[in-house]
């Protein structure tokens, strides 16, 4: 028995906040995780309930403790443990065999956020797969519309720091639900409100903040672009646009104005399902308030109009003249604040074919020349999180496909693997992480030794690179050296190292509070904000700021959105969630379908069906149904989740995901 020790750590999981943690460890086990009071002005002792309970994830029944080999039929869950040596030998042999017989492109590495740390992604994994000449994965499941718009318009200019929202007179929370997805904004908004700030929420659901808002615009999913354009048009038309700012600091304002012209308040309100009066109130409030800040989230982007919607929302503060004051402007992702590069880029390797991850199902079932023979899933629970789930499942079931899943828990995807490799969690390996809401950068040492035989990504991919013969052990930088490279790549290596040294194995948190257009300018070549950048044009069918209406074929159906909940991060921790999760819909939509509270219903479209209880609630606007993101198959009656209904259609620019373009019918389930 050893006395409990409190170890400093940081949460690298896919969330804007990047909390500083105090982890209590006893006998090599996590006994408690709390938010650190010091080291981080955002965390301030507050962390989410999921990570507070992470011991159940790290030490729970769903943990993969050893490498496993499939013994029964695919997908039926028959696995036997095998040694790491045998597992690595087998996987390396399959990788080499695929490359030699079918070409490297028959291999597809599939990964997304995972722990979202920087040592566990784009390091030795990139080395292995690029040297094998594997197909490349376009990581499009998230943040493509937001990233493209922010890059083309501002070169990813740093956003308003969340603590600076306390200075705002008006806060607009647009398509994000901080109560679930970034909790530290909630007390900040509350403090600003206590000081008299107004709050507007734009969301099809009455979220925790919408309940308290001065104005809640419950837009139809996918219609934000016309709402923002109507506001822009009105600002110009009523001479409340900041023409001096537009002339001095932007390009493209005339083109933007021209494209906004058709969107009168009345017409936009009709398309977005709003009352024209409330839309006008929003514009008046926005025009009259300064500092005014828009917290733009990712709920806006997950549909066919995502790119134009994000662009129009980012243009709003430029037209309204809201920059240049503390607490005024916008926040989107602040991921651009840290330029991090571990230096494992493909270098001179010839570019291989690229596969859009939103089309995984199609890639596994229909791709030719060569067909995919080996799928290596890590840092992702693909079957739970990728659209067109039934096609993905069909792909995973394909004989002739060899699937490796490298994860810390027995995910839905792992059940379809041929080989499962046990991964460490971020509490068991060294990690470097950065916030994308918070301006933080953390280095955290392992809090506990690896659980079971689990190993970290860095080590496993390095070993596979050696075993496949694509690299020698001597030429692969160590994990420690890679960490140094990452720190140096920020351009602030010395300062960061000094800060780290002062804190032992601690966690530096670098606070920054830039005022947009004062402390930071767009990182575009002319340092101006580009309001109509050609990079965002989607051709004749999808011009920038063009609104793509609902396809007429799905008229009358409900728009199924699948936002994040406070129980999971994407699908991470889904094994700990409740057995049954309801679909939420408005009582009027339920009544029209003869559905009562708690009824077992079938949510369906051409792609699939999900059988769940119905929950009737006025917190969802009419015409919309909600099934959360990140469910596992165990959480519905038929094992399918929202992604069984989500189309694998793409945004015209960038190939981004359109989860919230799912259109469904709901009826009483038979039986
Ligand atoms: N607890 C928790 N935290 C998370 C995550 C998680 O899964 N769980 N995920 C992390 C990740 S990967 C991401 S990308 C972020 C995402 O975090 P958010 O930006 O909050 O994104 P979502 O949860 O997808 O959706 C946010 C809100 O958008 C609304 N919405 C849906 N469609 C539309 C629309 O067309 N227009 C408008 N205006 N609103 C719409 C939804 O009702 C929802 O309330 O959160 C991160 N943080
Ligand atoms: N219907 C619907 N689907 C969605 C969304 C939606 O809005 N609606 N949102 C999408 C969004 S925003 C995102 S970002 C994606 C995220 O989709 P995914 O990237 O699949 O995210 P997770 O489901 O959290 O899966 C991450 C997995 O990585 C594992 N992992 C964590 N750390 C490590 C590590 O160090 N090594 C290894 N080998 N594994 C590790 C975790 O245990 C977990 O199983 O989901 C998307 N899916
Ligand atoms: Mo995401």
Average pLDDT over residues 659-666: 98
CATH number, residue 486: 3.40.50.740
Task: Give the β-pairing of 558-561 and 608-616.
Answer: unpaired
Name the helix (H) or strand (E) containing 235: helix 224-237
Hey, whose CA ends up nearest to atom 16 of ligand 2?
570
Does residue 574 sit within a domain?
yes
Nearest to 627 by CA among 556, 552, 558: 558
Does residue 92 share a domain with residue 27?
Answer: no
Q: Pick from 113, 299, 334 the residue to mutate for probing ligand 1's pocket: most ligand atoms within 8 Å of its CB.
A: 299
Domain residues for the domain of 362 are: 68-141+352-502
pLDDT digits (tens, 9 = 90+) for 178-196: 999 999 999 999 999 999 9
Which element (helix H / strand E) includes 539? none
pLDDT digits (tens, 9 = 90+) for 370-414: 999 999 999 999 999 999 999 999 999 999 999 999 999 999 999
Q: Which residue has the higher pLDDT, 540 or 502?
A: 540
Both 657 and 629 in one domain: the answer is yes
Q: What's the pLDDT score for residue 346?
A: 62
For ligand 2, atom 32, which residue shows the shortest CA distance? 115
pLDDT > 90: percent of the chain: 90
Pick from 332-346, 454-468, 530-544: least confident: 332-346
Q: What is the CATH number of the domain that holds 584?
A: 2.40.40.20
Find the helix or strand (DSSP H, E) in which 434 lies: strand 431-434
pTM: 0.98
Q: Is residue 641 part of a domain?
A: yes
Largest CA distance in the chain: 73
Are residues 102 and 216 located together in one domain of the fold?
A: no
Report whether pLDDT(36) > 70: yes
Please check whether residues 183 and 89 belong to one and the same domain: no
Q: Which residues contact 290 (CB under 8 A, 6 or more apart)?
A: 169, 170, 321, 322, 325, 328
Section 642-664 average pLDDT:
97
Same domain, 417 and 472: yes
* Interval 549-566 mean pLDDT: 93
Return the DSSP state at 416: G
How many Å lie between the centroid of ligand 1 and the Cα of residue 302?
9
- 41: domain CATH number is 2.20.25.90
pLDDT tens profile 196-213:
999 999 999 999 999 999
Write out the two tokens for 568: 């999971």
Domain boundary pick from 332, 364, 385: 332
Residues 179 and 266 in one domain: yes
Instruction: Give the span between the Cα atoms of 494 and 484, in whole angstroms.
Output: 10
Is position 531 within any domain?
A: no
Which segments of 147-298 are extended strands (E)?
170-174, 198-202, 215-217, 250-251, 292-296
Residues 427 and 440 both lie in one domain = yes
Distance 143 CA to ligand 3 centre (A): 6
Cα separation of 616 and 638, whole Å?
21
- Whether 38 shows a pLDDT value over 80: the answer reads no
Do 412 and 427 belong to one domain? Answer: yes
Q: Is pLDDT of 537 > 90?
A: yes
Q: Which atom of ligand 2 is nearest to the CA of 379?
A: 28
pLDDT, tens digit, 9 for 90 and up, residues 543-556:
999 999 988 888 89
519 located within any domain: no
CATH of the domain at 283: 3.40.228.10
> Do 320 and 358 lie in a common domain?
no
Give the pLDDT score at 339: 87
Instruction: Using pLDDT thresholds of 50, 70 and 90, give the confidence band for residue 439.
Output: confident
512 located within any domain: no
Indicate left, alpha or beta for 396 from its phi (over 0: left) and psi (-120 to 50: alpha).
alpha
| Model pLDDT, residue 251 | 98
Task: Indicate the pLDDT class of residue 349, thresholds 50, 70 and 90.
Answer: low
In whole numbers, what is the pLDDT of the chain averaged over residues? 95
Q: Is the pLDDT of residue 504 over 80?
A: no
Whether 472 and 590 share a structural domain: no
Ligand 2 neighbour 430 (Cβ under 6 A): no
Boundary-marking domain end, from 481, 502, 523? 502
Residue 509 domain flag: no
pLDDT in tens, 104-115: 999 999 999 888
Ligand 1 atom closest to the CA of 570, numbered from 1: 7
Neighbours of 631 (CB within 10 A): 27
Residue ending a domain, choose from 302, 332, 362: 332
Is 545 a member of any domain? no
Q: Count the domains in the chain.
A: 4
List, for residues 356-372, the tens digit of each pLDDT value: 999 999 999 999 999 99
pLDDT, residue 338, reads 86
360 and 404 together in one domain: yes
State the pLDDT confidence band at 345, using cuts at 50, 70 and 90.
Answer: confident
Distance CA 68, CA 90 (A): 11
Both tokens assigned to 496? 């960061």
- Does ligand 1 come within 6 angstroms of the Cβ of 145? no
Q: Is residue 333 lining ligand 1, measured as CB closer than 6 Å?
A: no
Residue 281 predicted with pLDDT over 70: yes
Are residues 191 and 166 in contact, defined by beta-carbon separation less than 8 angstroms? yes
Same domain flag for 372 and 457:
yes
SS3 209: helix
| Closest ligand 2 atom number to CA of residue 113 | 19
Confirm whether 524 is domain-assigned.
no
């Amino acid at each position: 028995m050893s006395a409990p020790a409190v170890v400093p750590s940081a949460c690298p999981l896919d969330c804007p906040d990047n909390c500083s943690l105090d982890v209590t460890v006893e006998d090599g086990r996590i006994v408690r995780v709390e938010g650190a009071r010091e080291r981080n002005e955002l965390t301030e002792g507050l962390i989410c309930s999921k990570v507070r309970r992470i011991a159940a994830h790290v030490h729970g029944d769903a943990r993969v403790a050893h490498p496993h080999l499939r013994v029964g039929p695919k997908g039926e869950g028959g696995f036997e443990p095998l040694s790491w040596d045998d597992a690595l030998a087998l996987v390396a042999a399959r990788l080499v065999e695929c490359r030699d017989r079918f070409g490297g492109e028959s291999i597809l590495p599939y990964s997304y956020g995972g722990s979202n740390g920087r040592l566990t992604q784009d390091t030795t994994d990139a080395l292995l797969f690029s040297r094998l000449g594997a197909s490349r994965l376009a990581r499009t499941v998230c943040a493509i519309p937001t990233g493209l718009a922010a890059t083309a318009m501002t070169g990813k200019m740093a956003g308003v720091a969340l603590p600076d929202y306390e200075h705002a007179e008006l806060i607009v929370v647009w398509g994000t639900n901080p109560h679930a997805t970034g909790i530290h904004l909630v007390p900040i908004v509350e403090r600003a409100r206590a000081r008299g700030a107004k709050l507007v929420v734009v969301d099809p659901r009455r979220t925790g903040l919408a309940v308290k808002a001065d104005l809640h615009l419950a837009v139809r999913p996918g219609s934000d672009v016309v709402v923002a354009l109507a506001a822009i048009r009105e600002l110009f038309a009523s001479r409340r646009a900041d023409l001096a700012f537009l002339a001095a600091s932007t390009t493209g304002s005339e083109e933007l104005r021209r494209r906004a012209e058709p969107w009168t308040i009345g017409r936009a309100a009709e398309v977005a399902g709003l009352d024209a009066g409330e839309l006008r109130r929003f514009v008046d409030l926005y025009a009259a308030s300064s500092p005014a800040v828009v917290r733009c989230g990712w709920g806006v982007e997950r549909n066919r109009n995502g790119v134009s919607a994000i662009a129009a929302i980012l243009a709003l503060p430029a037209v309204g003249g809201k920059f240049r004051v503390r607490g005024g402007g916008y926040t989107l992702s602040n991921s651009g604040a840290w330029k991090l590069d571990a230096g494992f880029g493909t270098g001179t390797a010839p570019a291989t074919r690229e596969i859009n991850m939103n089309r995984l199902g199609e890639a596994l079932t229909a791709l030719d020349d060569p067909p995919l023979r080996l799928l290596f899933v890590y840092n992702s629970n693909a079957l739970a999180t990728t659209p067109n789930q039934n096609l993905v499942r069909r792909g995973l079931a394909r004989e002739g496909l060899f699937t490796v899943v490298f994860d810390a828990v027995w995910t839905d995807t792992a059940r379809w693997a041929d080989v499962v490799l046990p991964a460490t969690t971020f509490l068991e390996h060294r990690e470097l992480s950065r916030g994308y809401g918070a301006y933080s950068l953390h280095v955290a040492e392992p809090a506990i030794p690896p659980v079971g035989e689990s190993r970290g990504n860095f080590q496993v991919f390095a070993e596979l690179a050696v075993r496949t013969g694509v690299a020698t052990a001597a030429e692969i930088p160590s994990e420690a050296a890679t960490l140094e490279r990452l720190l140096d790549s920020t351009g602030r290596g010395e300062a960061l190292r000094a800060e780290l040294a002062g804190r032992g194995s601690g966690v530096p948190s670098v606070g920054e509070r830039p005022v947009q257009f004062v402390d930071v300018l767009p990182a575009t070549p002319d340092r101006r904000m580009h309001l109509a950048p050609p990079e965002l044009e989607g051709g004749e069918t999808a011009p920038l700021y063009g609104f793509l209406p609902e396809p007429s074929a799905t008229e009358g159906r409900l728009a199924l959105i699948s936002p994040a909940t406070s129980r999971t991060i994407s699908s991470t921790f889904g094994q700990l969630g409740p057995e049954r999760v309801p679909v939420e819909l408005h009582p009027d939509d339920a009544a029209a379908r003869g559905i009562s509270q708690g009824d077992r219903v079938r949510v369906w479209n051409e792609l699939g069906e999900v059988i769940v209880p119905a929950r009737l609630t006025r917190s969802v606007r009419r015409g919309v149904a909600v099934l959360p993101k990140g469910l596992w198959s165990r959480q519905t009656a038929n094992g399918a989740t929202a992604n069984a209904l989500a189309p694998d259609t793409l945004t015209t620019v960038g190939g981004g995901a359109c989860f919230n373009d799912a259109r469904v019918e709901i009826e009483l389930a038979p039986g």
